[in-house]
Amino acid sequence: MKKLLVVYALLIIAFLLYLKDFQTREATANLNETKGLQGQVDEKYVMVTFQAGTDYWKKILKGFEDAGQALNVSVEYHGAAQYDVKEQITVLEQVIARKPSGIALSAIHPDALDVTIFKAIDAGIPIVLFDSDAPKSNAYTFIGTNNVNAGATAAHELAHFINRKGKVAVVTIPNQQNQINRLKGFQETIEKQYPEIEIVAIEDGRGDQIVSEQVVKDILTNYPDLKGIFITEANGGVGAGRAVLQLKKDKDVKIVSFDTDKQTLDMIKEGTIEATLAQGTWSMGYWALNYLFHLHHGLIRLPSDPYAHNKLPTLDTGITVVTKKNVDSYYAE
């Protein structure tokens, strides 16, 4: 009887020790949990654009989602359906009302969204801009292509294809910061470095394939000796390609376009478009979410100077030139 009691007592002590060991191990595990960069269950980050549904945003969203997965947080995408300033403001206000942990925003207009951005930041919701900037807003930073440099690269490429002389035209969108900067870089470079090239027309293609096609047809009618066209965004490039094909001018007129959607890549492959500029789209989404995560968790040291502009480093996601030579590697992306 006494022996049995001793055995039971030993068993109980053994279990208590085992339990203690487990508790210690669990405490260690909990400690590890607090280390590293990892979000809470209720953390949600939202990406907001205009003109939803284009392939271009999907590549950026993939980077945004990949970062969300790495940091164990939720992500959402909301876009205005149309190319419309008021609609994007409405979408942004609806997103702010739901108090997300952070917003990555591509601005349709350089200053029309500034007040709404201010409201969000005032309410403690960090905003970073990507792809198209609102340079006077108090958003924390801009992540995207250095579009002035991209415009300059487009100028060098087009100059190369037309042997550095002749009339050229630009089709762009007048009120969007990234397009404005691409045009600026293109114009400055042509004027300074290519005295025998003349920019004879700068027209609004409204970011639309059909509008751009008509615009390019009109330019080609007015300037039958036109040698080249720079289109500052992808839809315009496809429209321009169709225009030169219909007018049977695809051999005479060289086109430099922007971005790498499938239609553009196809036109490069068949020789209608000479070159397009690929942006670091995945990087834009990936680092936008990283920045927002750091801001939400207060991990970043902000400048002590309250008047400092762009409180976080701006990120230049770079460009690469896509031609027939390397076009195949861009289909997979």
Q: Phi and psi at residue 295, in whole multiples of 5°?
A: -70, -45
The correct pick among 19, 81, 123, 210 for binding a second copy (CB under 8 A) is 19
The correct pick among 10, 12, 13, 210 for binding a second copy (CB under 8 A) is 12
Alpha carbon distance 159, 329 (integer Å): 25
Closest distance of CB 64 from a second copy, Å: 12
Q: Is 25 in the site for a second copy (CB under 8 A)?
A: yes
Alpha carbon distance 308, 127 (integer Å): 16
When the beta carbons of 85 and 148 are compared against a second copy, the nearer one is 148
Q: Is 42 in the site for a second copy (CB under 8 A)?
A: no
In a 10 Å sphere around its CB, with 0-12 CB exposed, 13-18 middle and 19+ buried, how is residue 285 labelled?
buried
Alpha carbon distance 294, 290 (integer Å): 6
The correct pick among 134, 150, 295, 315 for binding a second copy (CB under 8 A) is 315
Identify the CA nearest to 231 among candidates 192, 196, 259: 259
Rounded (5°) CA angle 107-109-112: 100
| Chain center to CA of 163 | 33
| Contact mark string toward a second copy, 194..213, x via CB under 8 A | --------------------
Q: Is 175 in the site for a second copy (CB under 8 A)?
A: no
> Token digits for 107?
């601005």
Continuous segment of H or E residues that includes residue 197: strand 197-204
When the beta carbons of 71 and 80 are compared against a second copy, the nearer one is 71
| Contact mark string toward a second copy, 108..147, x via CB under 8 A | -----------------------------------x----
DSSP of 245-270: HHTT-TTT-EEEEES--HHHHHHHHT
How many residues bind a second copy (CB under 8 A)? The answer is 57
Q: Is 160 in the site for a second copy (CB under 8 A)?
A: no
The correct pick among 138, 187, 214, 310 for binding a second copy (CB under 8 A) is 310
Contact residues: a second copy, CB under 8 A: 1, 8, 11-12, 15, 18-19, 22-23, 25-26, 29-30, 32-33, 35-39, 63, 66, 70-72, 143, 278, 280, 282-283, 286-287, 290, 299-301, 303-305, 307-310, 312-318, 320, 322, 326, 329-330, 332-333
